Chain A
Amino acid sequence: MEKLRRSMMFVPGNNPGMLLNAGIYGADTIILDCEDAVAITEKDSARNLVFQAISEINYGTEVAVRINHISTPFGWDDLKRILPAKPDLIRLPMCQGPDEIRQIDEFISEAEHKHKFPAGSIKMMAAVETPKGLRLAYEIASASPRMVALAIGAEDFIANLKTTRSKLGRELLAARGQLVLAAREAGIQCIDTVFSDINDEEGFKKELELIKEMGFDGKSVVNPRQVSVVHDFFAPTAKEIDHAQRVLAAYQEALEKKSGVISLNGKMIDLPIVARAERTLAYAKATAGKGGK
């Protein structure tokens, strides 16, 4: 099973209290943010705090840093300051094309060499937030072996589309679908955008239902309260686990009998169904024991 990234939780990089406690909520990935959550006047202090946090705090899970875009005056400085602390993952916002990924990849390679980190140990992901980025999504996803995930950043994307965000999310349907296709073609994960109305739990659940159906691997979250909701949603249900176990048992039995046709409760089982059952059980195993009941 690949690394779980059901929840990727943003934490403002300039807030010491939040940085200190970021690890306690069980998010699969913590994203220490140097970009949108940080005012321009605070960029340098956020960078320093994030460096200290990664160096001093054992978060016990994957730690990512969202840097400022490399076309701003802050992006490269973020990387210079933070890479020596060896974050697990760099998240690039507003990605417009594969060249940006390649430039950062090169920069990370130099840092890894300089600080004697294993080559390729710092991963990357990119957020697509423009129509151009979406058109080049596959190229972005496959621009570097460091790339582990694509994400969609809805607010900027919708502004670019000249529409507004709705409860049903129809305005994002095409982009979400296209992004999942690109990520899957490149063999990496796909992460959905944040849901910012943290008190609308019903709306949040509806959106989770949608993105799970569409094939997303996880969701960016802005509030720790959303983490367990996401995890509950992505956890296979007891019914799904039970079904997967039966499918595999039927498959095993057919193999032993050297039978070409496999069926369960009168329904034909073919190899994609077996693969899905295996994925369900692997997922169940990976998510078990994370947090309380």
Chain B
Amino acid sequence: MKNSIGREIPDFIPGLGKVTGFGGAFARKPVGRTVGAALSTCLPRADKRLASIETAIDAVGLKDGMTISFHHHFRNGDRILNRVVEAIAKKGIRDITLSPSSLNTVNDALIPYIEQGVITAIETSGARGKMGRFLTEGHLKKPLHIRSHGGRAQAIESGAIHIDVAFLGAPACDRYGNINGIQGQSACGSLGYAIQDAAYADQVVAITDNLMPHPLFPISIPQTQVDYIVVVDSIGDPAGIASGALRYTKDPKELLIAKYAADVMDYSGYLQQDFSMQLGSGGASMAVGRFIKTKMLERGITGSFGVGGMTGVFAEMMEEGLFKMMFDVQSFDIPAIDSIKKNSNHLEMSASYYANPHNSGAIVNNLDAVILSATEVDVDFNVNVITDSNGVIMGASGGHCDTAAGAKLTIVVAPLLRGRLPMVKDAVQTVVTPGETVDAIVTERGIAINPKRLDIIDNVKNSGLPIMSIHELKDIAYKLCGKPEAIQLSDEIVGVVEYRDGTIIDVIRRPIF
């Protein structure tokens, strides 16, 4: 079948079964009920502590074919996921479905366990590095199942993902299992993705290098959800968990794109008193904050709230009184972690609160504007953030399609050219975010407004900004670089991209290398 954006999706995908094609950003109405964790009990004065990860695997009764989950708040500093899988492999358990909220290059170490059949399915936000290439080559038994952060929360709550055991790295954990992410040597700030898993997994194992006296304060994940505690020497490498302060880019091209994006937001009419905003953490999208800040100060306006993927520079705007609140699902740098620790108006939120389309209203629905990066975009305003110019998986869906759907104004920033490749094309290789939810594409050589946003087109027409049609933008790119050759693909589906509502927006076919 062709889905509503014209992508050819088989009705039946080997390894996944029958699938539903994407039918529009808000077309699918959810039915049924949320699922829940298995009932459990814990006797008074019981000790939840276990001696080792191996003991914990025995205690939870992990078996062949089960699904295990992890959070990715430790990013490339993560010392949990690889270690748990190694322990599982040693016990001879096979056919595991791995469901981490995302994968980082540190998880390239999992490749042997896929080859050995320990891991046969992965459901996550995306993949990078060697793992991305390995998965693109089709070595996994089932196709890689890519979900956005909101889509993953939706799938967990609807039961599409059933987590048998969540192994959660806990920067601070007390003796009865209360957890937060802001204390200890492996502090990572918000535990937004872990909160989701803890609430719905049948069993939860907290792994910590910072066992604290009971009761812990503050509590992000409550003791009522945590079954076992394992204390280890180190759960993460601080240098890999969070960088020092992420600063604004100095790249003049990214700054130019950022300035244009801020101007588009301004002329579009969304930069008003009490507006709300989310910024991506990429060079150009983050730098938009700098120009927005200048405009806010010049005009004497303040915002209502910010959403992230939080960075220190954004949190700083709240500390300076430019925003009332920040909603934080993951904290990207040390200043952001410090901010969530000390500011009561810097709120931790779950992935569902952030972006789940099938609850009674995620915070993305309240966004006035979001600035997002892109790998490539096309003349239908569709965005790819997953596959590179060779069709290889090298990115993550993240909250891209969630925020684009929720915000009143979605601005996608991207360079028009990367090296000798055009980034505005006739058709993107893989659609992650549908064009119907994207309002403006901002590049260093021109800005295209989605033709269905007549209001924005009208507002920006006398701005002096380089406004042009998306086709003109593409033509400039093609004139400079030539039209890129199509990637030769096999019929084998190595990945599916699920839209936030559970329908399939695109599939990734194995390129013929």
Whether A20 and B480, one on each chain, are in contact in the complex, defined by CB atoms closer than 8 angstroms, is: yes
A225 at the interface (CB under 8 A from B): yes
Chain A residues with Cβ below 8 Å from B445 are: 24
Interface residue? B465 (CB, 8 A): yes
Interface size class of A (residues with CB under 8 A): 10 to 19
Does A73 sit within 8 A of B, measured CB to CB? no
| Given A20-B480, A291-B464, A293-B263; A225-B255 close (CB under 8 Å) | yes
CB distance from B202 to the nearest CB of A (A): 53
Q: How far apart sit A25 and B253, CA to CA, in the bound complex (Å)? A: 8
Known contacts being A224-B252, A293-B263, is A20 close to B444, with CB within 8 Å?
A: no
Out of B253, B465, B480, which one reaches A292, CB within 8 Å? B465
> Is A266 at the interface (CB under 8 A from chain B)?
no
Q: How many residues of B contact A (CB 8 A)?
A: 17
A118 at the interface (CB under 8 A from B): no
Closest-CB distance, B276 to chain A (whole angstroms): 22
Q: Which residues of A are found within 8 Å of B75, using beta-carbon distances?
A: none
- A292 and B252 within 8 A (CB): no
**Which chain B residues (236-286) contact chain A, with CB distance < 8 Å?**
250, 252-253, 255-256, 259-260, 263, 266-267
Complex Cα spacing A25 to B445, Å: 9
Give chain A interface residues in 186-205, CB to chain B under 8 Å. Answer: 199
A20 near B417: Cβ-Cβ < 8 Å: yes
* Known contacts A292-B259, A292-B260, A292-B263, A21 near B444 by CB under 8 Å: yes
Instruction: Give chain A interface residues in 1-54, CB to chain B under 8 Å.
Output: 20-21, 24-25
Which residues in B have their C-beta under 8 angstroms from that of A21?
253, 444
Q: Which residues of B contact A258 (CB under 8 A)?
A: none
Bound Cα distance from A289 to B252, whole angstroms: 21
Residue B463 CB within 8 A of the other chain? yes
Closest Cβ of chain B to A50, distance in Å, is 17
Are the CB atoms of B250 and A24 closer together than 8 Å?
no
Residue numbers in A under 8 Å from B252 (CB-CB): 25, 223-225
Question: B429: shortest Cβ distance to chain A, in Å?
Answer: 24
A225 touches B253 (CB 8 A): no
A-B pair count, CB < 8 Å, reads 35
Q: How far is the CB of A231 from chain B (nearest CB, A)?
A: 12
Q: How far is the CA of A289 from the CA of B445 in the complex (A)?
A: 16
B31 CB to nearest A CB, Å: 47
B464 lies within 8 A of A224 (CB): no
A286 to chain B, nearest CB (A): 13
Chain B CB within 10 A, most for which of A21, A228, A292: A292
- In the assembled complex, the Cα of A290 lies from the Cα of B466 at a distance in Å of 10
Closest Cβ of chain A to B375, distance in Å, is 19
Residue of B nearest to A26 (CB): B256
Contact of B444 among A24, A289, A290, A293 (CB under 8 A): A24
**Shortest Cβ distance from residue A228 to the other chain B in the assembled complex, whole angstroms:** 8
Find out whether the CB atom of B256 lies under 8 angstroms from the CB atom of A293.
Answer: no
**How far apart sit A291 and B444, CA to CA, in the bound complex (Å)?**
12
Partner of A224, one of B256, B260, B480: B256
Does the CB pair A24–B256 fall under 8 Å?
yes
Give chain B residues whose Cβ lies under 8 Å from the Cβ of A288.
Answer: 464
Q: 0/1 per residue, A257-293, Cβ < 8 Å to B?
A: 0000000000000000000000000000000111111
Rounded to whole angstroms, the CA-CA distance of A44 and B436 in the bound complex is 50
Q: Which of A20, A21, A199 gathers most chain B CB within 10 Å?
A: A21
Q: Which residues of A contact B465 (CB under 8 A)?
A: 292
Chain B residues with CB below 8 A from A199, complex form: 250
CB atoms of A293 and B266 under 8 A apart: yes
Determine the chain B residues whose CB is within 8 A of the CB of A223 once the complex forms.
Answer: 252
Chain B 164-193, CB within 8 Å of chain A: the 1/0 string? Answer: 000000000000000000000000000000
Q: B255–A293 contact, CB under 8 A? A: no
Bound together, the chains give a CA A199 to CA B248 distance in angstroms of 13
The CA-CA distance from A224 to B249 in the complex, in Å, is 13
* B289 CB, min distance to chain A CBs, angstroms: 16
| Cβ distance A202 to chain B, nearest Cβ, rounded Å | 16
Q: How far is the CA of A293 from the CA of B267 in the complex (A)?
A: 9
On whether the beta carbons of A292 and B444 are closer than 8 Å, the reply is: no
Docked complex Cα distance between A289 and B253 (Å): 20
- Closest residue of chain A to B462, judged by CB? A289
Chain B window 430-467, contacts with chain A (Cβ cutoff 8 Å), 1 for yes, 0 for no: 00000000000000110000000000000000011100
Task: Give the distance in Å from the alpha carbon of A20 to the alpha carbon of B259 in the complex.
Answer: 20
Residues of A within 8 A of B255 (CB): 225
A57 nearest CB neighbor, chain B only: B480
The residues of A that contact B259 with a CB separation of less than 8 Å are: 228, 292
Chain A residues with CB under 8 Å of B256's CB are 24-25, 224
- A289: which B residues are within 8 A, CB to CB? 464
Q: Which residue of A lies closest to B263 (CB)?
A: A292
- Nearest CB in chain B: distance from A53 CB, A: 12
Whether A293 lies near B463 (C-beta < 8 A) is: yes
Let me know if B250 and A292 touch, CB within 8 A. no
Would A24 and B253 count as touching, CB distance under 8 A? Answer: yes
Chain A nearest CB, measured from B260 CB (Å): 7
**Shortest beta-carbon distance from A111 to chain B in Å:** 28
**Which residues of chain A from 207 to 225 have any CB-CB distance to chain B below 8 Å in the complex?**
223-225
Closest to A21 in B: B253
A290 touches B464 (CB 8 A): yes
Q: From B446, which residue of chain A is reached at the shortest CB distance?
A: A24
Report the Cα distance A20→B260, complex, angstroms: 19
16 CB < 8 A contacts A-B:
A20-B417, A20-B480, A24-B256, A24-B444, A57-B480, A199-B250, A223-B252, A225-B250, A225-B252, A225-B255, A288-B464, A289-B464, A292-B259, A293-B267, A293-B463, A293-B464
The 6 closest A-B pairs by CB, nearest first: A224-B252, A292-B263, A289-B464, A24-B444, A225-B252, A292-B465
Chain A residues with CB under 8 Å of chain B are 20-21, 24-25, 57, 199, 223-225, 228, 288-293
Given contacts A20-B417, A21-B253, A199-B250, 10 further A-B contacts (CB under 8 A): A20-B480, A21-B444, A24-B256, A223-B252, A225-B250, A225-B252, A288-B464, A289-B464, A292-B463, A292-B464
